[in-house]
Structures are given as structure tokens and as C-alpha cells.
Amino acid sequence: MKSIGVLLVGILFMAQFSIVNAQNDRVLSYGNYNYTEDDEAAEYYEKGNYYFEKGKFTLAAKYYRMSIDEDSLFVEAYDNLGLTYRQMNELDSAAKYYVLSIELYPEGGLALQNLGVVYEKKKNYEKAVEVYSSLIELSNSNPEGYYGRARMYMFLEDYDNAMQDALMAEELYNTYESEYVMDAHYLIGLIYYFMEDMENSRKYLKLAKEEGVNVSQTLQDAVGMDTNPE
């Protein structure tokens, strides 16, 4: 089997649709958080949101921390603070606040999914597998847990488990008629590439490309998409 320690690692990170930027849209509902009843905490939180939207992450983090100081049970403030630190690439701080959020609200699928992203960015793929497994345990009908864990297994060169999870993600995305099925098709094509099954790799990468995924020319050449039209 092909090792993932090749040029295609860079292609993978650049070409796949990122869950980092579409995180909130891709999380299914896990129930509603209880919004703070503390007026001052709410005011600080809204200021944090304002500065986050403006891209002023240092100020956003300041106000989210102030909100938490006022209401230590305000789960959304922990989540947004984690996201803010992630935007600043302060990954240890981001992980800290996601963990605190999960401790306060174990049903918090949003925090779990974001924590998986943080560990992925830290290249701690084994830990990310644990987090995505927890997400699956929380909601086994949510494709994101399988999709995230499939990528981590692929990075760990555990292609059999990667394929199993990727196919499950594809099935669930189809069930929900989600546009993100294109991501699963792209991922399945990559896994087939590393499993040296070029016929199926071409099939899924071609499908992903038709659905709008930017499949790099380097990857197309590697699997023979141009020379082996389907």
C-alpha cells in the first residue's frame, strides 16, 4: 500500500472542503444550550460576538472570558472562546475551553467536533480519533463523526477503518441529502488511492469533481483520470 508520507498529503489539506470553516453548518442538532440569565454575562458575550465577526479575535477572546467570569456555566461562551483561540492558532487554549465546555455539557456535539479539529490541526491524530469516536457515541446518526474519524485513520495509514467510516459518512450524508456528500466522495477516492485501487479512486474522485470539489491536476494525474475516462 502507498504511504501517506508523499506529496499528496499537501494536496489533501488544500483540496478537501474544510470543516474548520464550515463547522457550525455541518453539526447536527444535539439540543439547545441554556442561554445565560446573567445580563452582564450576556452583554460581554454579545460584544465578543461583535468583535469575532469583525475578525478582532484578541478583543473577542477578552469579552468571552469576561462573560465566563460573570457566568461560569455559560457553555456557549466557552465554545466561542475555543473557536476564537482556534482562529488565532492558539490550539492549546482552544482545546482547554472546548474540554471545559464538554465537562459542563457532555451532550455538546459542537464542542466535541471542534475539539477533534483542534487535535487534527495539532497532528495528534490518535487523540482526534478518540474525540470523533466520542462524537459517534453521542450521535451515531451524525455523519461528521465518521467523516472526521475516517480522515484521522487515513492519516494514521489505517486504510481499512478509514474506508469503513468514510462509506458510513457517505451513506449518512445521502440520507440527509447533504451537499457534503461530495466531501465523502473525495475522501473515499483518496483512501482508494492509498489502497492502490486506482479504478475506484478514479470513480470517486471523478464524482467529487463533478459535484464541485477542486481535485488538483496533480491528483488527477496520479490516478489517471485524464488517461482513463469513465
pLDDT 10s digits, 72-115: 999 999 999 999 999 999 999 999 999 999 999 998 888 999 99
Determine the Cα–Cα distance for residues 43 and 35; give it in Å rounded to an integer: 12
Q: What is d(CA 100, CA 105) in angstroms, rounded to the nearest whole number? A: 9
Residue 137 pLDDT exceeds 50: yes
Q: How far is CA 107 from CA 8, 103, 113, in A?
A: 36, 9, 11
* pLDDT category of residue 32 using cuts at 50, 70 and 90: low
pLDDT per position as a tens digit, 63-78: 999 999 999 999 999 9
Lowest mean pLDDT among 22-36, 45-59, 103-117, 127-141: 22-36
The CA distance from 6 to 209, in Å, is 22
- Report yes or no: 220 and 226 within 8 Å, Cβ to Cβ: yes
CA dist 197 and 194 (Å) reads 8
- Give the model's confidence band at 6: pLDDT under 50 very low, under 70 low, under 90 confident, else very high: low
Cα 3-5-11 angle, rounded to 5 deg: 105
**Quick check: 30 and 110 in contact, CB under 8 A?**
yes
Say which DSSP state 214 is in: -
Tell me the pLDDT band of 58, cut-offs 50, 70 and 90: very high
Average pLDDT over every residue of 156-183:
96
201 has pLDDT over 80: yes
